[in-house]
Amino acid sequence: MFPALLFAASIFYYRPSPTGLRWSASWVPSLDINLSLQLDALSFVFVGLISSIGFFIQLYALAYMKDKAERFSFHLYLTLFMLSMLGLVLSDNIILLFVFWELTTITSYLLIGFNHENEKSRKNALQSLVVTGAGGLALLAGLILLGQIAGSYEISTIIDQAVHAKDSVTQHPYFAPSLVLVLLGAFTKSAQFPFHFWLPGAMAAPTPVSAFLHSATMVKAGIYLLARLSPVYAGSDIWFYTLIAIGGFTALWSAVIALMQKDLKLMLAFSTNTILGILTLLLGIGTETALAAAILFILAHAFYKAALFMVVGNIDKATGTRDIRVLYGLKAVLIFSFASGLIAALSKAGIPPLLGFLSKEYAYKAGLEVHGIVMFALVMINAVMVALAIAVISQPFLREKIEDNPTVKSIEAEIGYWIPPMVLACCSVIVPTLGLGWLNEYVLSTAIFEINQVEQFSPVKLWHGINLPLIMSAVTLALGILIFKYMSSVTQALNKVLNPLPVASEVFEKCMAVMLSVATWQTERLQQRKLSVYALLFFSVLAAILLLSPIWPTGDFLERILSLKLYEIAIALLLIAAALLCVFSTSRLLSIAGLGAIGFLMTLVFMIYSAPDVAKTLLLVETLMVVFVALLIRHLPHFSTVAKHSITRRGFHALIATVIGFSVTALLITITKAPLDSPLADFFAQNSVPGGHGRNIVNVILVDFRAFDTMGEAIVVVIAAIAAISLFQSHSQQQNRIQSLIFSTTAHIVAVLMMVFSLYLLLRGHNSPGGGFIGALIAVIGLTLLIFAESPQYVRERLGYRPMNIAMVGVFLSLLAGGIGFVMGQPFLTGIWWKEILPLGTPLIFDVGIYLAVIGGVLEVLLRVNEELD
C-alpha cells in the first residue's frame, strides 16, 4: 500500500505551476548543500509513474516471489529502489540528487544480483554497478562544476540563472567540461551507446525487477536528468548534436540487436534501449513538439513495457522458458495475460487510439522539424518496434499448437499474476481517450515550459486529420508487418553482417580483465607483505615530494638558536640521544626504552609550553605503549637473528631520514616564526565559560564545540578494538602473573587509587585539566596492574561485564547526549545544561560515554593480547 499512498499524496500536493511545491532544510549550509525537494510538473510525471507502477509491481511480485524464501528481502530492496528514485526526481539540490542517484545504483545492484547463487546474476550485477557507478563519478564532477558556474547547488537557482544570465553561464570556462561530464553520467544511467550493454545484462534479475527497472525507474533517471538540465545546456551545439547523434544511433543499433534475440526478455530489454535512444534524440531536438513527444513516450513506454514484462514473466512461470522458438498455443492457458499483452503490444506498435500511437505521431512531427534523415531513422526504428510487438504476442500465444504440452501450468487462478499487467495495459487506452484534456492542462504545458522555458504550448490532440505523420505511421505499420513476415531471413542476414563485429559486453569484460591484470602486477610490485618495504616506499615518496620544493629556515635562524634556554637545549640533546639509541642499539629492551624516552621527553615539552591536557594524554599513552610492549617483547625476535640490510640500503635509509627530519624541522621553525593567528583561540577563550560552562578550554572544545569529532574518535577506538580482537583465534586462560608478593599487594592498592583518581579527573575535567579520555587511560593502567598481579580472568570476573559491552554503553551514552539536544530543537550534540536545578549538563553525559568507550575498547585489547600470547 505504501506506493499507492505516495501516488495519492503526489496528486494531492501537486500544483500545476512552474515553481511547484518546494520544501527545504539546511544540511551543510556552509557548502550550500540543502535537503531541498520540489514537486513540479516534470517531477510529478516521474513520481506518478514510479509510485503507481511501483504499486502494481509490488502486487505482482507478491505472487511471483511467493515461493522464494528471500521474498521479504526482495520487497525491501524493491521499496528502497523506489524510494531512491523518488528522492532523485524530487531533489532540488544537485548534491542531494547525486546522493539518490548513487542509491539507485546500489539498490539496483542488489536487485539485479538477487539470485546471487547464479554466477551470471553476480557478473551482470557487477557490470551494471561498474558502468553506472563510473558514470556517477563523472556526473558528480560535472554537477560540482555546474554549481561553481552558477554559484549555487540549488537546481531552481541554477536554472533561473541560466535563463536570465545566459551569457555568463554558457561562456564560463567550466561550461563545456560540466556539460560533457553530465552527459557521461546520463548516458551510462540510461544505457546509451557505448554503455548500452549493461541494461540487457540486467535481465538476470527476477522479472518484477525488470518490469520496474525498464518502465519507470533507473533507466529513466538519465532521461530525467537531461530534461531537468535542458534549460542550462540546450543552447549549446555540443548538447544538440551529441544527443541527436548518440540517441539516434543507440535507438537504431538496439532495434537491430533486438530483432536478433530469441529470449522474450532480451527482446524487450533491447527495445527499451531503443526507446531510451529515441527519448534522448527528442530531448536533443528540444522543440515544443519534441518535448511533448518525449513526455508522451515516457508515459506510453512505462505502461506497455511494464505490462509486457509481467506477461513474459507469466509465460516463464507457466512454461519454464522464454525462448520464442519453442513457445506456442498459450492463448487458451494464459487468457488474461494474452489480453493484457495484446493491448500493450498494440500500444508498442503505435496503433490508434492508444498512447503509443500518440507519442509516435508527435515524434514524427518533431523529426520533420529537424531533417529528413531523422524522420527516416524514426520510421525504420518504429517499424522494428512493430515487428517486435507482433512477435512477442503472436509467437507464444497465437501460433497453433504443434502438440499438447503437459508441462504448461495454469497460473492465472491467482489474480496477482494478471491484474497488474491488465491495469497498466488499459492505461494505454484510458490516458489518450479520457485523460488527454487533464494531461494537457495540468502536466504537459507546465512540464514543457520547465524543460525549454518557452511560454507557448499547443495542446496535444489525438487526431490531426490525414497528414504526413499519419501517412508515415501507416508506412511504419506496413514495414513492421513486412519485417515480421520475413524475420528469419532478416535475422540471418543481420547475423552475417554483425557477427564479425565485437560484442560490447565482451569488450567490457576484456577491459576489466586488463585492468585487473594491471592491478595484480602493481600489487605484486608494491604489496610485498613486508612492513619495511611499505615504510620505505612511503618515506621515499615523502622525501621526494619534500625535495621538489625544499624548505629552508630563513631570517634570524641563528639568533633564535642562540636564544634557547639551557633546559631546552638539554631536552633536545636527550631527544637526539634517545633517537640514536633506538637506531644503533642491539638490545630489544634498550631500543624500547629509547623509544619510550622520546615519548616521555615530548611530554615534558608539552608541559613546559603550557599544554597540560596534551601532556597528560601523551604520558598515559606512552605508559600504555610500554605495557603493550612488555606483553609482546617475549614474542619479538632478537636483533641478532634479524638479517641486516646492506650498507647501501642503510645509507639510503639515513638519507631519507635526514631529508624528512631537516624538512620538518625547517617547517616548524618557519611556522613558529610567523605571528600566531589568534581569532580561533580568542573565540574559544571568550566562549568557553558562557557557551560551554567550563573553564578548561581544551575539555570544553572536546565535549562541546567539537564534540562530533570526539565522538568519532571514540567510535574509531571501539572499531579498532573490535578489529584487533577479531584477529585472535582463542581465549587462553593461562595466568601471566608477576611472582612478587610486594607487587601483588601494592598493585591492588594502587589500582583502586587509580580508579578513584580516574573518576576524579573525569568529573573535574570541565574546569581543570582532566576529562573522560585522560581518566579512562588512568583507569586502564590501574586495571593493567591487576592483570599482571593476578590474571586477565581475575579482571574479567571483577568487572562483571565484557569490556566491549562497556564500550558499547559508552558509545550509546555519547549518542544519547547528542540526541537530547536534538530532541529539544538544537543541533545534534549541542550542550544542554540544567544549572538552575543541578550543575549538570549533557557534556558530562557525553564525557562519561567517552570514558566508558575508551576503557572498554583499550581494556578488551589488553586482555585479549595477554590471554592469546600466554
Q: What percent of the chain has pLDDT over 90?
A: 30
pLDDT at 838: 61
- Please name the residue that has the C-alpha cell 642499539: 585
Element (H, E) at 757: helix 741-764
Determine phi and psi for 34, rounding to 5 degrees.
-125, 155
Determine phi and psi for 704, rounding to 5 degrees.
-130, -70
Contacts of 212 (CB under 8 A, 6+ apart): 53, 54, 57, 78, 81, 82, 306
Q: Where are the domains of the chain?
A: 1-235, 244-490, 696-869
CA angle 61, 63, 67 (to 5 degrees): 100
**Quick one: residue 800, left, alpha or beta (phi over 0 = left, psi -120 to 50 = alpha)?**
left
Amino acid at 621: V
Kindly give the parts of the chain with pLDDT less than 70.
1-4, 6-7, 401-406, 455, 553-560, 630-631, 634, 674, 676, 729-740, 835-839, 869-870
By the 10 Å C-beta count (0-12 exposed, 13-18 middle, 19+ buried), 233 is classed as: buried
pTM: 0.74
- Please name the residue that has the C-alpha cell 610567523: 674
pLDDT at 553: 65
Give the Cβ contact number of residue 678 at 10 Å.
Answer: 9
pLDDT at 327: 86
**Considering just the CA atoms, what is the radius of gyration of the chain in Å?**
35
Contacts of 538 (CB under 8 A, 6+ apart): none
Can you read off the three cell numbers belonging to residue 766? 570541565
Render pLDDT for 621-653 as a digit per residue (tens, 0 to 9).
Answer: 888 777 777 667 767 777 777 777 788 888 888
- Please name the residue that has the C-alpha cell 584487533: 724
Can you read off the three cell numbers belonging to residue 661? 627530519
Question: Strands (DSSP E) along 33-77, which ranges?
Answer: 33-39
Render pLDDT for 206-257 as a digit per residue (tens, 0 to 9).
Answer: 888 888 888 877 788 999 999 999 999 988 899 999 999 999 999 999 999 9
Give the Cβ contact number of residue 843 at 10 Å.
Answer: 26
Q: Coil, strand or helix: which one is 858? A: helix
Q: Coil, strand or helix: which one is 68? A: coil
Contacts of 685 (CB under 8 A, 6+ apart): 697
What count of Cα atoms within 13 Å lies in the side-chain half-sphere of residue 565?
A: 6
In DSSP notation, 588-619 reads HHHHHHHHHHHHHHHHHHHHHTT-HHHHHHHH
Determine phi and psi for 401, rounding to 5 degrees.
-65, 130
Q: What is the rounded distance in angstroms from the CA atom of residue 620 to the CA atom of residue 603?
A: 10
By the 10 Å C-beta count (0-12 exposed, 13-18 middle, 19+ buried), 20 is classed as: buried
Determine phi and psi for 560, rounding to 5 degrees.
-70, -35
Amino acid at 51: S
Contacts 24+ apart (CB under 8 A), 684-693: 692/766, 692/831, 692/843, 693/766, 693/831, 693/833, 693/835, 693/841, 693/843
Give the Cβ contact number of residue 100 at 10 Å.
Answer: 19
Helices 94-112 and 155-164: crossing angle, nearest 10°? 120
- Please name the residue that has the C-alpha cell 574479567: 796
pLDDT at 184: 95
CA 117 → CA 79, 200, 807, 822, distances in Å? 22, 20, 38, 44
